[in-house]
Structure 1
Amino acid sequence: MNRLHPFSAVSMALQRAITGFTLPFFLVIFLASVVDVVDASWAFVLGVIGLLAGVAYGLAYYYRFEYGITPDTFDVQSGVISRRSREIPYGRIQNVDVARGVVQRLLGLAVVSIETAGGGNTEATLRFVSESEADRLQHQIRRRTAEIKDRQRSRERDTETDQRGESTDATPGSEAPSPDPDPRSEREEHVDPTRVETGYRSRRQRLFDLQSRELLLYSFTTFRPAAIAAVLFVFFLATDTILEYMVTVANPVGGPEDLENGDTGSYGILTVVSMINGLLITYLLSVAYTFATYYDFRLGRVDEDFVYERGLLQRYSGSIPAEKVQSVTVTANPIQRLIGYAGLWIETAGYGPDSSAGSQSAVPFAVRRRVYTFTENLTGVERPKFQKPPTIARRRYLVRYSIVAALFVAVVYGITRISPLEGWYFAAAVFVVVPPAAHLRYVNLGYYVGSDHLVIRRGFWRRRTTVIPYYRIQTLSTRRSIFQRRLGIASLVVDTASSRTFFWATPTIYDVDLEDARDVQGTGRKRLQSALRERARSDDVDISVDFT
């Protein structure tokens, strides 16, 4: 069993020391303010005791944390008071992710996270190990996972051979020749581990690099919702400073001189200027976040796994097992579609897009035709011919968006009744965008029932075209709301084993005729069974790791 890097002991001791000092310190300060029995001077005594206890606990946790690689499992033992032992089979390991921050790279350290299928959670985290140890763990686990796959396939081939041999052995005196030993297995039994690692690293094949021009275009044409949270966080930390800045910026264009002195018009100008500044700052933060996240993005392959590296301040590297791929999604927002670009994302079992810092991006940004070619080569899907929902769906969207617009006008009217603002009727202009919004929602929907894949397209602001092999489908369910039942339409939900995030809902064929939904459901079930039978007879994972 191995221990973490010695710096881990320092890091754990500092973290526990800070926690051990602050908790009793502030607790005593609070109790002293409400209870006369408690003396505030106790805070320093208990704080020091907590600090020493935290240091001792952090050091004990370091010495009690051990990990090791066995032939079949990756083992982790941890815990000071309650001992925990975990044995993680290589067949369940989804990804070995290595993260290196700026300080960690200066110190030659890394954080290794081992993800498993079935939820996308981190099963084990090694904080910290040396960079060479992180690379060794990645390569060793990947190699042993490949060996397990080879043994499983070998057993399946032996089973098929035995079944065939039973029919030929019926002839008296006939004897099946003994198979020749696998020279590769004999060679691997006596090979030096260092030579294996060197050879394993040398077999990496480069598939895609994100060029500087593509990175800049991707950064400026992508909006990250996390930027909104960052702006709100900064606002709450420095509210007075930010308000003063907004007043200073708005004053030259008609805003108030200060928050206390102003009229309705100046406050309105301040509101508009503040919104514009907020949107601009949020957008620039989003650009910086995307640039730092996907800086120097590289995608390659090692055996049957995709491997990637990315990141400026925080450097990530990991792998995507090809056999775990559930579906492939092409994404593009309106600006990206206008300039002819798109992105390609891979969803794996228990590990969805943009989960765990977006590690499943295969091609973040490239020319759209190139991305479509990648998708066809990766999945083997034929060029889809999409079927659209019936026109009654467009009428449904028109009614839905009209209701939303009416609610918006009602809210604005209510605000004008309780504030100095006037002209609520200007909000009625929102009804102008209702018809084009309903039309854009309708024209961006479509589905294609292929021979081996189901393809679903939806979304305008971020159009997503998802290619799902039939053998990856978990369930096909028809969903109908009370309004859909009245219109005779339904939505078909196609669920796979991949996890979903708040921004990536389960692929759904929206608002098609009920009979069409039932036909697709029946066809999908039949082709699912045939695809499973075909897959059982073949060792192919149906995903091409040479998709470029």
Structure 2
Amino acid sequence: MNRLHPLSAVTYALQYGFVWLWAPIVLVLVLGGIFDPIDPAWTSVAAPLGFLAGVAYGIVYYYRFEYGITPDTFDVASGVVARRSREIPYGRIQNVDVKQGVVQRLLGLAVVSIETAGGGDTEASLNFVSESEANRLQEQIRQRTAEVKDRRRRREQSTAEHDSPVDEHGHDVESTEPSPDASVSSTPELGPEQAADDRTRSGRAGRTRRQRLFALEARELLLYSFTSFRPAAVAAATFVFFLATDRVINLFIMTAQPFGGPAALGEGTPTSYGILTIVSAINGVLITYLLSVAYTFATYYDFQLGRTGEDFVYERGLLQRYSGSIPVEKVQSVTVIENPLQRLIGYAGLWVETAGYGPESSGGSQSAVPLARHRRVHQFTENLTGVETPTFESPPPLARRRYLVRYSLVAALIVAAVFAVTRVTVLERWYLAAIVFAAVPPAAHLKYVHLGYYVGDDHLVIRRGFWKRRTTVIPYYRIQTVSTRRSIFQRRLGLASLVVDTASSQTFVWETPTIYDVYLEDARDVNSTGRRRLQSALRERAHDDDLGLSADFT
């Protein structure tokens, strides 16, 4: 069994020391309020004692934490008072992720996280090991995981070959002779160069060779940073505002003065305060946008996607370096994602949805290609899934009328809200807010024209969204449930929405792929076709022992 890096002892000592520092302080203050003999001044003595006790506990925890690689499992033992021993079978391991912050990179340390297919929680975390040890663990665990999967696949294939060609009901089924190429690996067919690279060893090093598939160039990184928006930037901007409220307000007042804003709060007119509000809103949006640009740039700096065996592996990050993997057999769906700016310049991104863990969020959404030329992304999608070029079916024109009514109601609510504000403030001319009705027809049209679906032979393709258009490719064998949903308004119009759910723990922006507002008959046809082709796809995969996805990005 191995121990963590010696600097981990310092980390645990300080961590538990500062945590335990507060325990005696709180205890003395609480007991001091109940019992008169206990003086709150004792905290000056109790706090150092708590800190020392925490430091001692952290050091003992370090010496009691052990890990090791065995032929069948990755073992972790931890705990001081209550010992916990975990044996993680390689067949259950989904990801071996390596994270490095700025300080960790300077010290040559890394955090190794072992993720299993059971969900989004980390099964085991090694905090910290040396960078070389992290790479060794990542490589060896991936190799052993791949070997377990190969043995399982060969055993299932051998069992299928010796089974009698009779189904569970005693009916005859089609007998298939093994092809001359039956000895070839059962992974999806690749080109000659990809097949040669697949699962080859790099000579004496004995490591699986990594095939490079995609790298985010500097120009693409800048385009991605300036044409995307991160919701985390809103939280960051809010934090900055509360951290330096007076300075931010003074900055807003100073920038509004050249346009007629007040000289100071409490010294302006209603017009100057209106100017201050508009300028402050513009400044807030600008600051949030710049924070989003910086966050995206730092997150996806030097993004590289590669392939090792049957897994996609990637590295990214400027301040915090991240190395992770995307197991091919866990991929549930593939989504091409693009916003209006990216569509305007001819770019798009490619995301994959996996079952269980995903580092991009608490669910399974992961970026395979952050940004690339639109044609290249679609080629990646076709190579990855084997999907045929889709010919989208649009919802009926009745759906556009529904969106027109819906957005008209939203505009009416906005005008009513502005009217209410003018009743309790000095603001006037509430009727100017009615200009929002001018945006209703184009909004309804844009929502309608960006909806579509395609029922292919092997895949269901769903397109939706204008501000963030998502085109999701779902293999039939990945579908878990297909449900038809109808609101009270849809029932009156004879429309329905079809929700297609996979085994992923979380979908993009918490939205399940949905075919919106089609005729009820069409929804039922897609539902029955999906169920029928799901069964066919499952039978074909069981017979061919197919992963279903190709790792050919070239």
Same fold (TM over 0.5): yes
Aligned twin of 2:332: 326
Aligned twin of 1:125: 125
Distance 1:359 1:293, change over 3 A: farther
Q: Where does 1:385-400 land on structure 2 (aligned, <5 Å)?
A: 385-400=391-406
Shift of 1:197: 8.4
Distance 1:259 1:515, change over 3 A: same
Tell me, yes or no, if structure 1 residue 265 matches structure 2 residue 259: no
CA deviation map 1:488-540 (0-9, x unaligned):
11111111111215714111111111111111111101111110000001122
Aligned twin of 1:198: 205
For residues 44 and 359 of structure 2, what CA distance do their matches in structure 1 show?
A: 48
Tell me, yes or no, if structure 1 residue 430 matches structure 2 residue 422: no
Q: Where does 1:335-354 land on structure 2 (aligned, <5 Å)?
A: 335-351=341-357, 354=360
Aligned twin of 1:136: 136
Distance 1:358 1:314, change over 3 A: farther
Secondary structure, in 3 states, of the residue corresponding to 1:2?
coil
For residues 425 and 239 of structure 2, what CA distance do their matches in structure 1 show?
A: 27
Shift of 1:547: 2.4
Q: Where does 1:220-299 land on structure 2 (aligned, <5 Å)?
A: 220-299=226-305
Distance 1:237 1:501, change over 3 A: farther
For residues 463 and 455 of structure 1, what CA distance do their matches in structure 2 show?
A: 13
Secondary structure, in 3 states, of the residue corresponding to 2:40?
coil
CA contact (8 A) 2:365 2:507 kept: no
Aligned twin of 2:8: 8
For residues 247 and 296 of structure 1, what CA distance do their matches in structure 2 show?
A: 39
Distance 1:42 1:330, change over 3 A: same
Aligned twin of 1:25: 25
For residues 204 and 65 of structure 1, what CA distance do their matches in structure 2 show?
A: 32
For residues 462 and 409 of structure 1, what CA distance do their matches in structure 2 show?
A: 27
For residues 63 and 195 of structure 1, what CA distance do their matches in structure 2 show?
A: 36
Match of 2:543 among 525, 537, 542: 537
Secondary structure, in 3 states, of the residue corresponding to 2:325?
strand
Shift of 1:31: 7.8
CA contact (8 A) 2:60 2:80 kept: yes
Tell me, yes or no, if structure 1 residue 377 matches structure 2 residue 366: no
CA contact (8 A) 2:364 2:507 kept: no
Distance 1:356 1:479, change over 3 A: closer
For residues 392 and 347 of structure 1, what CA distance do their matches in structure 2 show?
A: 32
Tell me, yes or no, if structure 1 residue 106 matches structure 2 residue 106: yes
Shift of 1:237: 1.5
Distance 1:357 1:317, change over 3 A: farther
Distance 1:358 1:235, change over 3 A: farther
Secondary structure, in 3 states, of the residue corresponding to 2:261?
coil
Tell me, yes or no, if structure 1 residue 457 matches structure 2 residue 467: no
Q: Where does 1:145-224 land on structure 2 (aligned, <5 Å)?
A: 145-163=145-163, 198-201=205-208, 203-224=209-230
Shift of 1:460: 0.5
Shift of 1:438: 0.8
Distance 1:365 1:377, change over 3 A: same
Relative to the length of structure 2, the TM-score reads 0.90
Match of 2:451 among 440, 445, 450: 445
Tell me, yes or no, if structure 1 residue 69 matches structure 2 residue 72: no
Distance 1:338 1:276, change over 3 A: same
Q: Which runs of 4+ in 1 moved over 4 A?
A: 26-38, 194-197, 356-359
Aligned twin of 1:175: none
Secondary structure, in 3 states, of the residue corresponding to 1:520?
helix
Amino acid at match of 1:59: I
CA deviation map 1:147-169 (0-9, x unaligned):
11111122123223434799xxx
CA contact (8 A) 2:117 2:357 kept: yes
Gaps of 5+ in 2: 167-182, 186-200
Shift of 1:411: 1.5
Aligned twin of 1:179: none
CA deviation map 1:440-484 (0-9, x unaligned):
111111000000000000110000000000001111111111111
Tell me, yes or no, if structure 1 residue 58 matches structure 2 residue 74: no
Q: Where does 1:517-528 land on structure 2 (aligned, <5 Å)?
A: 517-528=523-534
Match of 1:311 among 309, 317, 325: 317
Distance 1:502 1:531, change over 3 A: closer
Amino acid at match of 2:125: T
CA contact (8 A) 1:352 1:501 kept: no
493-502 vs 267-276, greater mean Cα deviation: 493-502
For residues 482 and 77 of structure 1, what CA distance do their matches in structure 2 show?
A: 56
Aligned twin of 2:189: none
Secondary structure, in 3 states, of the residue corresponding to 1:119?
coil
CA contact (8 A) 2:253 2:276 kept: yes
Gaps of 5+ in 1: 167-181, 185-193
Distance 1:382 1:195, change over 3 A: closer
Tell me, yes or no, if structure 1 residue 416 matches structure 2 residue 422: yes
Shift of 1:398: 1.1
Secondary structure, in 3 states, of the residue corresponding to 1:68?
strand
For residues 217 and 297 of structure 1, what CA distance do their matches in structure 2 show?
A: 14
For residues 448 and 60 of structure 1, what CA distance do their matches in structure 2 show?
A: 60
Relative to the length of structure 1, the TM-score reads 0.91
75-84 vs 428-437, greater mean Cα deviation: 75-84
CA deviation map 1:215-255 (0-9, x unaligned):
00000000101000000011111111211121122122211
Distance 1:270 1:30, change over 3 A: farther
Q: Percent identity?
A: 72
